[in-house]
Amino acid sequence: MQKVFRLPSQLYFDLFSTPELSGDKLIAVYSILKTSRQGEVKYYAYKAKNNKFVSGYSLLRAKTKMSINTLKKYVPALIEKGLCHFDLNGDFVLLGNKKVKELYTRKLVPIVIGESFLDTALKVMSVRIHSKEGYQKKEIAKKLTRSEQLKQVVDKSNTNAGKRALKRSVKDESVIIEKTVLSLQGFSKLKDGTLDNKSKGYYWKKKLKVKGLVKTSRRFEEIEKMSFSEYQYLKSVFGLQRAETYNNGFLCRETISSFSAVDLTKVKKQEIKKEIPVSPKKPSKKPIRLDFDMIKFWESGAGN
């Protein structure tokens, strides 16, 4: 059965914002330390079978399976924040849950303890992904409600002022996206606040997908309806931008992927389904008759 540690949200933010350290890893270390005591009030130093006294970082290494280097890198930051300390006997003492709740807000964030330290750190990151999805869902619901209410008012009044208000609303909100979306830069920002770093965003998005912590699906903006043969002819003769592709009978432009976060606290076992690649359609041997207006396409700026 998976372990779930519930961390005060204010403490989550405090640990995540610690300078010069990976916030996800610091939270992971603290969460593992809190859940590995096996019912004891603290980690007790002990004498091993070879009569060697096990205490300090060696004690934590034996009890948590985290490396000495990891413990020595992150535990001092936890000690500095008053969350734990080593006593004179070499025991390791953690601040009790009651005192932690007195210092930080009562709103709790669930942290799923993974099979390893790095796996736990990835699950710490998935908490922010899940929060981002929840926020977007609320905003989508608000926009849909406002848009629907405004449409009802315009339909009833049928006034020019109402129509202008509806037009401004549509212009301000653009097209309401009914799916939660997150760009590669968005994944990068949620990781450590880094902006405009697509390669980092791609790396962490892939990591989350492989672990089954997030699901994504491609989204396309339709440009023109055409056959696959026409698309191939268009691509070979005129060339296309990287984001322009063929999907479901249309020349399309690929946009930001939609995503959904997996709440591991509500599932017992997460199965990762492998995507089966779809073989592209073979081009027709018939002569190509291109009904698509290529000149109009380039003049509109869509091909730039």
In order along its 304 residues, the chain shows pLDDT tens digits of: 678 999 999 999 999 999 999 999 999 999 999 999 888 889 999 988 888 999 999 999 999 999 999 999 999 999 999 999 999 989 999 999 889 988 887 789 999 999 999 999 999 998 888 777 777 777 777 776 766 666 665 555 556 665 565 555 555 444 456 677 778 888 788 887 776 678 888 888 888 888 888 888 888 888 888 889 888 888 888 777 777 888 888 888 888 887 777 776 665 544 434 444 445 555 555 555 555 555 565 555 555 5
**pTM of the model as a whole:** 0.70
Spatial CB neighbours of 156, under 8 Å, sequence gap ≥ 6: none
Q: Which CATH class is domain 4-113?
A: mainly alpha
Q: What are phi and psi of 251, to 5 degrees?
A: -75, 125
Let me know if 104 is exposed, middle or buried by CB neighbors in 10 A (0-12, 13-18, 19+). middle
List CB contacts of 54: < 8 A, sequence separation 6 or more: 45, 46, 47, 48, 62
Q: So where are the chain's domains?
A: 4-113, 128-299
Distance, in Å, from the CA atom of 156 to the CA atom of 170, rounded to the nearest integer, reads 18
Q: How far apart are CA 261 and CA 257, in angstroms?
A: 13
The answer to whether the beta carbons of residues 151 and 166 sit under 8 Å apart is yes
- Token representation of residue 258: 């939609």
Tokens 């403490």 found at: 11
How many angstroms separate the Cα of 158 from the Cα of each of 153, 154, 164, 165, 173? 8, 5, 11, 12, 22
The kind and range of the H/E element at 83 are: none
Segment (H or E) for 42: strand 42-43
Find how far residue 47's CA is from the centre of its chain: 44
Helices within the chain (DSSP H only): 9-16, 23-35, 56-64, 68-80, 97-103, 117-157, 160-173, 184-192, 198-210, 228-237, 294-299
Q: Which helix (H) or strand (E) holds 255?
A: strand 250-261
